[in-house]
Amino acid sequence: MSTASIRLLPGERRVSYSAAWFVPLTVLLDIRDGQQWVPTGIAPTVTLSGALSYLDLGRCRDPGTAVPRRYRARFEPGSYLALVRAYREGEEFLAMPFSDTSPPALAVPPLTVNLAPSVSYPFNADLPVLYGQVSTVAGDLVPDVLLSTTFTPVPGLPRTVRTLTGPQGTFALPLGGAPAGQQITITAADYRHTPSRTGQLSVRLPDAIGRDQNIVIG
């Protein structure tokens, strides 16, 4: 499997723990303190369904006088990358005050975080994967750049695949189903930069596989 997602359950107060699930990246939790984010060091609990839950956030003695606290889940790269990093540091949510006798005043919905494989992902040997990096005109490698392309398998319907550059500006874009000999255009978009920057690269399979590609954005 080369695409995946994880679910965050910030509003859960009781879950069953499972050690069987492998979480393919590191999740860090920050709390908002004034104008800055402060790391909490709180690790998520993995539920029986494979979701990530933060238990007891918001627990207090008197929920009636307490205020909601804002948290942010950040996703450090592993065999997968969180696509949300193309737009921001992580996913923010509120932890509502509660106690054993007073439930939260508002239910916090689950968050789905879409993932894409990193360059360290163990792809199947028969899957065509385009490897490369994204750089500026000056040659600086750029992390957290969203890459996407759309192609039409034969037979099949149009398919869009996406991935992200990692901390060193490198990427691995799986192109399973892409027809041989057809030109494929890959778009790179750096939404974290103001203003946003884009670049494109056109390739043909299978010639582009096994070559280190470079996409320049500006």
How far the first Cα of the chain sits from its last, in Å, is: 33
How far apart, in whole angstroms, are the C-alpha atoms of residue 35 and residue 50?
33
- Please give the pLDDT value at position 10: 65
- Is pLDDT above 50 for 181? yes
Which pair of structure tokens corresponds to residue 72?
A: 């942010």
Mean pLDDT of the chain: 88
pTM score of the predicted model:
0.86
Q: Where in the chain are the domains?
A: 4-116, 118-217
Question: Each residue of 4-47: pLDDT tens digit?
Answer: 777 777 655 444 444 444 567 889 999 999 999 999 999 888 88
CB 184 within 8 A of CB 174: no
Superfamily designation of domain 118-217: Carboxypeptidase-like, regulatory domain (2.60.40.1120)
Provide the pLDDT confidence category of residue 53 given band limits of 50, 70 and 90.
confident
Q: Based on C-alpha coordinates, what's the Rg of the chain?
A: 20
